[in-house]
Structure 1
Amino acid sequence: MLGLFKKKNKTPRFDFSNIGVDMHSHILPGIDDGAPTLRESIMMIKRFQELGFKKLIATPHIMADYYRNTPETINKALDELLEGLVKQNIDIQIEAAAEYYLDETFENKINKGNLMAMGGNYVLFELSYINYPNNIKEIIQRLNDKGLKPILAHPERYPYLGSIENYYKIKDYGCYFQLNTISLSGYYGKQVQKTAEELVDNLMVDFIGSDMHHLKHADALKQSLFTPHLKTLFEETALQNIMLK
Structure 2
Amino acid sequence: MKEPIAYRKKMEGKSNAHLITFNDGRDYVVKYLQPGFEKSLANEWVSYCLGRYLDLPIPFAQLVEIPREFSSQVPGIEHLTYTQNQFASLYVRDCIDGHQVSADPYIINHQSLAGIILFDYWLCNLDRTRKNILLQEKMPNFFHLQIIDHAEIFGSYNWVQSDLEKLPVDIMKSATHQLMARCIADEKDFTEQLELIQSIPTLLIEEIVSLIPDDWMVSPEEKKVMVKKLLRRRDKILPELIEKFNKKIYRPLHDNHD
Fold shared, TM-score > 0.5 on shorter chain: no
Structure showing greater Rg: 2
Interval of TM-score (by shorter of Structure 1 and Structure 2): under 0.3
TM-score of the two chains, using structure 1 as the length reference: 0.27
TM superposition score normalised by structure 2:
0.26
